[in-house]
Amino acid sequence: MAEATTISKTTVEKLAQQLRVDSIRSTTEAGSGHPTSCMSAADLMAVLMTQYLKFDFKDPHFENNDRLIFSKGHAAPLLYSMYKAAGAVTDEELMSLRKIGSRLEGHPVPEILPFVDVATGSLGQGLSMGVGMAMSAKYLDKLSYKVWVLLGDSEMAEGSVWEAMQLASHYKLDNMVAILDMNRLGQRGETALGWNSGVYAQRARAFGWNTIEINGHNFDEITKAYDAAIATLTKPTMIIAKTDKGHGLALTENKDNWHGKPLSKEECAEAVKELGANDIRIDVAKPQSNGKSDKVKSAVTNKFVCPDFKGEVATREAYGEALKALGDAYEDVVVLDAETSNSTFADKFGKAHMDRFFEIYIAEQAMVGVACGFSTRGKAAYASSFAAFLARAYDFIRMGAVSRSNIKLCGSHAGCSIGQDGPSQMALEDLASIRAVINSTVLYPSDAYSTAHLINSMRTLKGVSYIRTTRAKTPLLYSAKEEFPIGGSKVLKKSKEDQVTLIGAGITLHECLKAYEELKSAGINARVIDLYSIKPVDVETLRKAAQETGKFVTVEDHAQEGGIGDAVLGAFASTEKERAPQAPLMLKLAVREVPGSGTPEELMDLAGITAKHIVAAAKSLV
């Protein structure tokens, strides 16, 4: 059991009031924010930071610091007020809340603020990110830190919360404590359950959690709950705290229509008088410095050795082989899968490195959230599923970018070329959606060797990276010695007499190569480009091809919007710094109608992305 810091109850009570006052003051100064959402949880956080939280604010990246996640990210002013009480930010900085250039944004964001691990504010995400951190501590790093997650009762309606709940129980994360701020009032009125803590507790117990129901404004009950949570073994704990939104202030306490509204300057002045103007500083307890002493070291080489491939190999299978080789080379590689590992071939890694493979089951939102959590702990987290199902986790992917998470995603079984399974399984939008994520990298290899090398490159990429793999076996195009720089491409066929450029990736590149032979026999010279890097795209090679051939045919097993064709056109967009050359005359071959079931060959032919259609398009241009 944790040893409580010796701080008087009076000091804790005054600190709680100070946290309320500072939340009010900062949001009033900003002219926006959610002070009442902060006020309900102030007592819970005052007890936590004075007696239980272990965090070295002078070394925020220390490996054994506790992790504190505000899943209810709109309560950020409360978190920042805690940082002020800990001496990590000044009052002057606190008053810069939500202003341009301030580290204290409207919702917590890491990187600019080193005490924050993940960006929150899109509700329902903090718990799964915390699961990733807790799993890293318990199973990989053998560290003793706790993961504390503050949840709002409104976000308990999100299915992603319950995905994380079942995972935390399955992996017996007794180093995780969720604190549910049950303040009854949401954005537009009462939540679905109001103050019915019994239902929350019943549901949490059904998911395998230790549950504790308390009055969230009773300091003795809060202390006892934290003690019990820390003493609980083999299961996570949820503390369900009944609180008042806007607690402590007659103007706002348990009053509707105060969500997301700051107090006026006059109301703020009255609130400071009513609550008291304290200026307490807390020396937050530091964690033990030897938390990593019993970490199990894996046998690694720190050198990636490309697997050897023969014959035709599906790029999804090459993904699995590359992951296994990557795991042999680097200790930081962790792989997650959403119960598709025998199709994505991530199971090849799992069989070789069981200690670093985590089954997330069919819970794609939680999978991406957990990957973000692992990323904060310095892990190269690869997460895979069918590309179509990653669409469920899109908001997590988007927030992963806001978090500056370095996560690596693999979507297999993409496009109509998967065949008979039909359109529910065919990702036709994935390239567009992930290209739209800021600072993302999107890769689409066409053979086993390019897949393996790109998987290796992804390990050190910053931000969200995505690789699209193909179900069908395809011929080898390259060797183990070939290099595939991010942002590059490969020119597979080229001559001085080229009249048209054919551009494909994945399955369509092989159709482009077939079309090249047919065009050659018809006396038409074509250039063929393997656009394995969709984002960033190889601007130099594309512009040179446009200058030399003047005509492009892009071919993709993807919807016509936002995929390969649009990525190519983007290479000819002018910027403030340069005037781009004129774009070539171009035809985009893509999937334009919802496919049905059929053989891969039939469906690709119906979509107009096979060799005969490429030949016809090229001839129409030439």
Query: Which active-site residues does the annotation give?
Result: 364
- The single residue listed with the structure tokens 């794609």 is 364
Distance CA 347, CA 338 (A): 11
> What region does 239 belong to: left with phi over 0, alpha with psi -120 to 50, or beta?
beta
* H/E stretch holding 486: none
- The single residue listed with the structure tokens 């009513």 is 274
Q: What is the b/e burial string over 286-299, where b = at least 16 CB atoms within 10 angstroms of the residue's CB?
A: ebeeebeeeeeeee
Within its chain, how far is the Cα of 30 from the centroid? 29
Strands 585-591 and 551-559: parallel
Distance CA 559, CA 577 (A): 31
Closest CA to 558 of 491, 473, 618, 470: 470
* Contact (CB, 8 A) for 353 and 379: no
Burial class (CB in 10 A: 0-12, 13-18, 19+), 365: buried
CB atoms within 10 A of CB 249: 23
Distance CA 137, CA 121 (A): 25
| Single-letter residue type at 24 | I
Q: Please provide residue 494's backbone torsions phi and psi, each rounded to the nearest 5 degrees.
A: -160, 140
CA distances from 268 to 214, 274, 403 (A): 30, 10, 32
| Single-letter residue type at 85 | A
* 3 state SS of 490: strand
